[in-house]
Amino acid sequence: MLAWLARARTGGLAALVAAIVLLPLALTNNYHYEVAIVVGLNAIVCVGLNLLIGYAGQISLGHAGFYGLGAYGSAILTARYGWPPAAALAASTAGAAALAYLVGRPILKLRGHYLAMATLGMGIIISIVIATEDRITGGPDGMAVAPFTLLGYTLAGERTWYWVVGAALALAVWLALNLIDSPAGRALRALHGSEVAAQVAGVDPGRYKVLAFVISAVFAAVAGSLTAHYAGFITPAKASFLHSIELVTMVVLGGMASTFGAVIGAAVLTTLPQVLTLLKDYEMMVFGAVLMLSMIFLPRGLVPTLAAALARRRR
């Protein structure tokens, strides 16, 4: 039983589900629920992105592009073509996955940080196209999105969305943890340790890196699609370079190669700006400083650093 609890795949997941179930006790108004929902949606992206950064050792500077594809794909297919939301979600996620494969396949054959540059270019192209094609996307002003309906039931209200996003997050974490413990996950970790050694053991580096990249794009697109339906309105800022940076920062701050670190990172960086708005003019400076200081003093991220400190104390 204790061993079962100590393992991340089972005990950690149980802790996360318990946290999701118990959190509403501390949420007293709709605003609190709103923040919790946004934390959950960001955490889904980060859990996927962490597979890429923490396990495949690659960085994406264009993940907001996949997020934007999911959001705008859902918005456009439901509003302009009358698709049911579930089909629109599936189609735009498949689109994001296909794009990730097309970009990732040639780039990830190269050693080094070329994916960072390619995703940077890809993300900016997506955000400019969204801002420019205003007849379809509404341009810089954004566009309204219909509520999510499934089998005649409409998702509405903060409380309903809280449980939907909570369930989606638990599912995302479960999938990620299982992947990490699977042969593919072991291959990824081997690659991160030493690419040459992994190759000698028969791991095809390109294939597994592409896999991690495509999965992370899928998680981002699903979260983007859910965000669009939840918020009821989307703007190109969701697909911007700065949003890509925010997502990477959440993962790295929480702790690379730590699925729960990604969740914590999303929680901290989503709630931080809510607190920082109190600082008004200093908001940007403080955000930049937090980024720099945490990278300098906690390069491994919050969760791994704290875990290491706890392990030392226990000994």
By the criterion CB under 8 A, which residues form the site for other proteins? 53, 59, 103, 106-107, 109-114, 116-118, 120-122, 124-125, 128-129, 132, 195, 199, 205-206, 241, 245, 248-249, 252, 256, 281-292, 295-296, 299
Closer by beta carbon to other proteins, 19 or else 125? 125
Which amino acid, one-letter code, is at 34? E
Please answer whether residues 262 and 16 qualify as being in contact, where contact means their C-beta atoms are separated by less than 8 angstroms: no
Minimum CB–partner distance for residue 38 and other proteins (Å)? 20
Q: Under 8 Å CB-to-CB from 230, ≥6 apart: which residues?
A: 37, 41, 148, 155, 161, 165
Please answer whether residues 166 and 24 qualify as being in contact, where contact means their C-beta atoms are separated by less than 8 angstroms: no
**Measured between alpha carbons, how far is residue 76 from residues 61, 68, 79, 99, 116 in Å?**
25, 12, 5, 18, 28
Gyration radius of the chain over CA positions: 19
Minimum CB–partner distance for residue 251 and other proteins (Å)? 10
Minimum CB–partner distance for residue 17 and other proteins (Å)? 30
* CB neighbours of residue 32 within 10 Å: 15
User: Three-state DSSP class for 203?
Assistant: coil
- Residue 231, token pair as written in the block: 């918020």
Q: Which helix (H) or strand (E) holds 234?
A: strand 233-234
Dihedral over alpha carbons 283, 287, 293, 298 (to 10 degrees): 140
Minimum CB–partner distance for residue 202 and other proteins (Å)? 14
Minimum CB–partner distance for residue 121 and other proteins (Å)? 4
Minimum CB–partner distance for residue 314 and other proteins (Å)? 27
